[in-house]
Amino acid sequence: MRGAAALLFALSLALAACGGTPSEQVETTAPVPVTLAPARRGPIHRVVRATGVVKPATGAELVVTAPQSARIAAMPKGVGERVRRGDLLVRFDIPSLQADAAARRSDVERAQAHLTQARANFERLTGLFGRGIAAKKEVEDARRELTESEASLAESQSARAAAGNLAGRGTVRAPFDGVVAERNHNPGDLAEPGGDPILRLLDPARLQIEAPVPLDQLAGIAVGNAAQVLGPGGAAYEAAVIARPAAVDPATGSATVRLAFARTTDLPAGTPVEVEISGEEHANAVVAPKAAVVQEGAESFLYTVDAQNKAHRVAVRIGVENRDEVEILLGLTADQRVVVQGQNGLPDGAAIVAAPAAPAAPAAGATEEKP
C-alpha cells in the first residue's frame, strides 16, 4: 500500500512538470476587460481653465474712510442692508473742518468788502483826474489796488470752495444703489485717516471675475469669448471675456483676465470660482476622449486596439483640449479605437475584451420596473 501511494505521488509530479499549465501563464494570456471609444475627425474648441475670484466691477465699490481724525456721528446702515443712491452712509463730527470752512467764508466776505471799496476809490479818482483835480499817479495806485483786491477775492473764494469740499467729506452718501458689505465701526468711535475702512458698499448687479491665466494659454483667449463659471456646489453661470491683460506678472508667469456675468449672479464678492473659457476652434482635427490619454511626466500616450483586439501603447502629441476631448496632433488616426478605461497597468500588446458600458443613471423621479 505504501509503495502504491508513493508511485501515484511521483506520477502526479511528473505530469505537472511535463503537461500542466501554471496558473500565472493563464492569468497573463487571459483577455483584459477594458472600455473602448472611437476616435473621430471633426471640430474641437480649446477650453482654458483657471481659478478666479468674484470682484466688483470698476465703479461698483465704495470704501469709506475718515478724511482726518474724526468721531463718527451717525451710521444708519448695517451689513447686508440695501442702500439707495443718496442715502446717508456715514456722518463724521469734525469740528476743525467746520471751523476752517467758517473762517474761509469770513475771508471771502472781507475780500469782497475790500474790493468794493477799491473799485469805488478807483472810480472816484478817475473822475477827479478827468477834471484835472487828481494826479495821474493817484489813479494808477488806485487801479493797482483794485487789481490786487480782485485777485485776493478770487483766492479767498477758491480757499472757501476747497474748505467746503473738505467739510463736505464729513457727510458720505451712497453714489449708487448697493448693499453694505462691510462695517468696521459704530457711532461714537474715533476714526483715523488711512486706517481700517469705516464702511464698504458694493453694487451686487455689477460683479465680475478676475482669473489669472498662464502665459502660454493667453494666445487662445480673446475679448468676447464665451465662458462658464463654476461656483461652490457646482452651480454654473454664463460669462464672457471683457478684458485681456495689459501686463504679465513675472513672478507667477500669469496674467489676469476679466470676465463679466451674462446675468446678475447670486455669488457674493470674494467667492472663489473655477472658470472655463472657450478659445479658438480647430475645425478638422483628430479628436479622442480625454480619458484615453495617460500622462507620465512630459510624455503623453494612449492605447489603440487593432483588429485582433490587442492593445498597443502609442506616444501622442496633444493639441487643444476641453473638458471631455483632446486633439491628437500626432500618433492617432480617426479610424482607430482607443482604451478609455482599464489602461492603467495594461501591458503593451495584451489581448483585450470590450467591457460593457456602465448603465446610464435613471432620470430624476423615474422608478425601476420589476418583472
Q: Identify the pLDDT of residue 358.
A: 52
Q: What 3-state DSSP class applies to 1?
A: coil
**Domain boundaries 62-92+170-202, corresponding CATH code:** 2.40.50.100
The length of the chain in residues reads 371
62-92+170-202 and 95-169 share one CATH topology? no
Residue 163 makes CB contacts below 8 A (sequence gap 6+) with 97, 100, 101, 103, 104
Q: What 3-state DSSP class applies to 109?
A: helix
Does this model's pTM top 0.75? My answer is: no
Q: Identify the pLDDT of residue 29.
A: 66
Q: Identify the pLDDT of residue 241.
A: 95
C-alpha cell at 69: 481724525
Q: Identify the pLDDT of residue 211.
A: 94
| Side chain identity at residue 34, one-letter code | V
Residue 268 makes CB contacts below 8 A (sequence gap 6+) with 54, 181, 204
Q: For the chain, what are the domain ranges?
A: 44-56+203-354, 62-92+170-202, 95-169
- Beta bridge pairs of residue 355: none
Chunked into runs of 10 residues, the chain (371 residues) has average pLDDT values of 46 46 48 93 89 94 90 94 96 77 84 90 85 84 89 87 73 94 93 86 95 86 92 92 89 92 92 91 91 91 93 92 89 93 90 70 42 37
| CA–CA separation, 82 and 179 (whole Å) | 5
- If phi > 0 it is left, if psi is from -120 to 50 it is alpha, else beta; for residue 9 that is alpha
CATH architecture, range 44-56+203-354: Beta Barrel (2.40)
Look at strands 199-202 and 61-64 and give their pairing. antiparallel
Owner of C-alpha cell 457674493: 268
Query: Under CATH, to which class is 95-169 assigned?
Result: mainly alpha
